[in-house]
Amino acid sequence: MNTVPYWHCFHLLTTRHANRYGYRLASLVLAAFLAGCAIPPSVAPINDHAWITRQAQLSRLIRWQAVGRIGIVNGQEGWHASFQWAQEETGYRIDLIGPLGQGRVLIRGESEQVSIQTQDGQQRVAPDADTLVAEALGVRLPVSGLRYWLRGVPEPGPVTSLQSDTTGRLTRLEQNGWIIDYTDYAPAAAHELPTRIAAHRQDLSVKLVIERWTL
C-alpha cells in the first residue's frame, strides 16, 4: 500500500479547501490540523517506574536539613532571607535570617501546633503554619507544602498536575493553587535533590536556592 507524505497531504488539504470554500474555511481547517498535531506536555503517569521508584526513596527521607536562600515577592513588595530548615519526622525547625529587617525569625512545627518567634522575643502559637507566618510576617509562605516540595515530593492530597523527567525527577507540580517549577538538582548522599525551586500563586512568588543538603 502506497503512502503519501504528510507534507503532500498538508498541501492538498490547504489547496482544495481554499479553492472550494475560500481562504477563511481553509484557515480554520489548517488551525484544527495543527492543533491535532500539537504535542501535549510530558505528564508523569502513575505507573511510570522511574517516578514510582524515586518517590518511594524520597518518602523515606524523614530526617534532613536544607540550608539556602529564599526570596519572596508579594505584589509590589518583596523580601529575601537566608534559611535553615531542619526536618525531624513530623517536626521541623525553620530559621529565617534577615526577613523584612526583623533580624531572625524562628518557626517550630509539631504535629498539632506551630510557633513563631521574632527577633524582639514575641512568640505566637497556632495550629496552622501558613496562617501563623502570614500574621507574623505579612506574607503567606506555604510552609505546610514546602515540607514536601523541597524534596521534590507532592504534599499528601490532591494534585492538579505534575511533570517529571526521564529519571523520575519532578520538574513541575501544580498543587493547592501553587505552580512549582524545579530548575536544578544536585547529588546529596545517595539521592539527587532540588537546588533551585520557583513557586507562584496569583501575585505571590517564592524562589528558593538550596546551597547544602544534609541527610
197 pLDDT higher than 70 = yes
196 burial (CB, 10 Å; 0-12 / 13-18 / 19+) is middle
73, three cell numbers: 515577592
SS3 content of the chain, % helix, strand, coil (to 5): 30, 40, 30
For the stretch 34-72, pLDDT in tens is 344 433 444 445 558 999 999 999 999 999 999 999 999
pLDDT for the residue 102: 64
42, three cell numbers: 510530558
Domain ranges of the chain: 6-37, 49-214
Who wins on pLDDT, 35 or 197? 197
- Could you give the CA distance from residue 5 to residue 96 in angstroms, rounded to a whole number? 61
User: Which listed CATH number (2.40.50.1070, 1.20.120.80, 2.40.50.140, 2.50.20.10) goes with 49-214?
Assistant: 2.50.20.10
For the stretch 69-110, pLDDT in tens is 999 998 888 888 999 999 998 899 999 998 655 688 999 998
Contact 147, 87 (CB under 8 A): yes
pLDDT for the residue 48: 87
For the stretch 114-171, pLDDT in tens is 999 988 888 999 988 898 988 888 888 899 999 999 999 999 999 999 999 999 999 9
Q: For residue 145, how many C-alpha atoms fall within 13 Å in the half-sphere facing its CB?
A: 22
